[in-house]
Amino acid sequence: MRWRLHAIAILLTVAAVGRAEPQATYQAAVLDPQVVLDTSRAAVGNVPGDYPMRDRREREVRLADFRGKPLLVNFVYTGCFEVCPNSTLALRNAVNAMRARFGTDQFRVVSIGFDQPTDSPAAMRSYAAQRRIDDANWEFLSPRREDVAMLARDFGFTFIATPRGFDHTLQVSVVDAEGRIRRQVVGDTFTAASLGEPLRQLIAGRLLKDTTTLTDLLDRVRILCSVYDPETGQYRVSYALYIEIAGGLTFIVAMLWFAMAEWRRARVARRRAAH
């Protein structure tokens, strides 16, 4: 735990780099790593408030608009020139790996600009373009300035102003289809390994609960039969579960055949006894 807290403490320090115009007043630029972790974890189970935000096209949207599928949520500020861009690129690579295996429409992603009014829709649009993110299921949102503190509280996100910008938590919140935070992934990089497992379970659960078509059931089996390969950074097929399923089906068929055979023998025996 000590090394993890130390690593997060470093993250909270370097995350401030890159603010072009320092603010006039600052809070004490000290974040306790344990408090940051506790705050993040305490948000698990929350359903964040449905605050109005604007997307990159200036349209008003709310978090409720993204319900129905699992959602990944992270916070950035566009004045950051090092940590936020790097973490966003790491998230982009993880998202691409998960989309390749889970499907392009199985989950959504939202990045929220917390430095208001600087993180305007135009600024967020430029930020996404610079990261080469052109994903129909990934949106960049600008909340109202007066809502930022409450939004951050709901997500367990911590930030304070510093002379160089902001110290803030680097985290991705994994939100289920009903809008409830189910997992917090905290760290300097976001990978398909750390994000994929909770997301995989949410997608598979949704497919089982909300749909009944054969295609959806096959998708669920395909997703459950996926495992992360650390050597390639991608998901691959695990045939172990397929073998287990095949073995289970074979057992069921064998038991049904045995039951039918016993029923037929008993039927023949009753007929003979009747004569």
The pLDDT of residue 262 is: 73
Residue 249 corresponds to which tokens in the numbers above?
């089906």
Identify the CA nearest to 53 among candidates 115, 140, 141, 148: 141
Give residue 201's pLDDT.
84
Confidence (pLDDT) at 227: 60
Residues facing residue 161 across a β-bridge:
166
Give the SS3 label for residue 129: helix
Beta strands per DSSP E along 28-158: 53-54, 60-61, 71-76, 108-113, 138-143
Tell me the C-alpha distance between 163 and 12, whole Å: 14
pLDDT value, residue 21:
40
Q: Put residue 201 in one of left, alpha, beta given phi > 0 → left and psi -120 to 50 → alpha.
A: alpha
Q: How far apart, in whole angstroms, are the C-alpha atoms of residue 258 and residue 256?
A: 5
Which among 195, 16, 183 has a CA at the least distance from the CA of 92?
Answer: 195
pLDDT value at position 248?
A: 59
Sort residue 165 into left (φ over 0), alpha (ψ -120 to 50) or beta: left
Residue bearing tokens 């409720």: 64
Determine which helix (DSSP H) or strand (DSSP E) holds 65, and give its type and residue range.
none
pTM of the model: 0.73
pLDDT in tens, the chain (275 residues): 443 444 444 345 434 444 434 333 444 456 788 889 999 999 999 999 999 999 999 999 999 999 999 999 999 999 998 888 999 999 999 999 888 888 888 899 999 999 999 999 999 999 999 999 989 999 999 999 999 999 999 999 999 988 888 989 999 999 999 999 999 999 877 888 888 888 888 887 776 565 556 566 566 566 666 666 666 666 666 555 545 555 556 767 767 777 787 777 777 667 776 66
